[in-house]
């Protein structure tokens, strides 16, 4: 949040934050107080209310905040979500940064909720690492607000063997997976991307926890899922989850969910969600 504010406000030569606005500083008395209200202008799911509030706390430690809604809540046009009372200059300084955060986070939560609704509980909706640099934690939080789940956070908390790993390793998929398991241990989650039926079968044989079916048609996934489950049951008691990814939209996600997969990962949740329309209305206090 400090970095986002610095984009607008800059720093002094000594490195301290300015937290100022040349327009407000020249037009509004320093002692002037104002009040503001955050209002929804569209239907959606709220995410980022605490982030929104924190921006103003950084700009004015004495700001008074009243929350009227909560993250994960469905909101409607004209609904009042939060009230502020504080220094007028500070409210103007924080306005755009705070709105940028909450509009984008709420947009992600809203889009996620739409996908979750379309699947009707038949498969879980997950995000990916296709996030805005520096905002991954906030965007993945927004996905959870919309009823989705988080895929791995980064390159460190789960292993995922993708086509580039396989091609550069120069080994077959099952062998790569067995070597990874030996190095990482039984408790580490390993996902294997499969571009076709042969790679999916090899992923199960190699002991992957999750087989990611990449850009397969619904009919191919529907035929393949029972085969993979039967293969795992015959080879190992280790749990298997099947994931679909690639080319999934609101128009086809219900069919993908009905194919028999356990989970569906969608990059668009974080890289293509439109911002939710919210406004901050301000006025001087009496």
**Distance (Å, whole) CA 194 – CA 192:** 6
Say if CB 261 and CB 123 are below 8 A apart: yes
Say if CB 207 and CB 238 are below 8 A apart: yes
Residues 6+ apart with CB under 8 A from 20: 9, 89, 93
- The strand pair at 210-214 and 74-75 is best described as unpaired
Q: Which of 21, 95, 139, 193 is catalytic?
A: 193
Q: Which two tokens stand for residue 188?
A: 């580490």
Q: Which of 107, 35, 44, 114 minimizes the C-alpha distance to 79? A: 44
Give the C-alpha distances (Å, rounded to integers) separating 246 from 194, 217, 218.
12, 10, 11
Q: Which of 54, 74, 83, 130 is catalytic?
A: 130
Is 214 an annotated catalytic residue? yes
Q: Which of 96, 152, 220, 229 is catalytic?
A: 96
Is 193 an annotated catalytic residue? yes
Question: What is the side-by-side strand order in the sheet with 278-284?
Answer: 64-67, 80-87, 33-40, 278-284
Residue with tokens 């520096």: 134
Q: Which of 141, 116, 135 minimizes the C-alpha distance to 46? A: 141
Q: Which two tokens stand for residue 226?
A: 């029972």
Q: Which of 214, 232, 243, 263 is catalytic?
A: 214
Is 96 an annotated catalytic residue? yes
Q: Which two tokens stand for residue 131?
A: 């996030």
Is 149 an annotated catalytic residue? no
> What positions carry a catalytic annotation?
96, 130, 162, 193, 214
């Amino acid at each position: 949040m400090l970095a986002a504010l610095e984009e607008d406000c800059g720093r002094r030569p000594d490195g301290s934050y300015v937290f100022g606005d040349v327009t407000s500083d020249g037009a509004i008395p320093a002692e002037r107080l104002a009040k503001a209200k955050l209002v929804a202008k569209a239907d959606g799911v709220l995410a980022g209310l605490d982030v929104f509030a924190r921006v103003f706390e950084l700009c004015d430690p004495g700001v008074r905040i009243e929350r009227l809604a909560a993250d994960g809540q469905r909101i409607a046009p004209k609904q009042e979500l939060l009230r502020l009372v504080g220094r007028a200059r500070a409210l103007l300084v924080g306005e755009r940064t705070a709105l940028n955060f909450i509009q984008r986070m709420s947009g992600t939560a809203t889009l996620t909720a739409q996908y979750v609704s379309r699947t009707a509980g038949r498969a879980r909706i997950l995000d990916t690492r296709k996030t805005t640099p520096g905002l991954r934690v906030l965007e993945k939080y927004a996905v959870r607000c919309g009823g989705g789940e988080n895929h791995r956070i980064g390159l460190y908390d789960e292993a995922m063997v993708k086509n580039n790993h396989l091609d550069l390793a120069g080994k077959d998929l099952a062998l790569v997976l067995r070597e990874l398991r030996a190095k990482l241990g039984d408790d580490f989650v390993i996902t294997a991307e499969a571009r076709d039926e042969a790679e999916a079968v090899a992923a199960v044989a190699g002991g992957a926890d999750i087989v990611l079916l990449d850009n397969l048609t619904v009919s191919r996934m529907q035929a393949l899922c029972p085969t993979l489950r039967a293969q795992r049951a015959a080879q190992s008691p280790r749990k298997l989850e099947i994931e679909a990814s690639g080319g999934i939209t609101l128009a086809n996600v219900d069919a993908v969910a009905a194919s028999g997969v356990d989970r569906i990962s969608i990059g668009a949740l974080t890289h293509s969600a439109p911002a939710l329309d919210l406004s901050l209305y301000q006025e001087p206090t009496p």
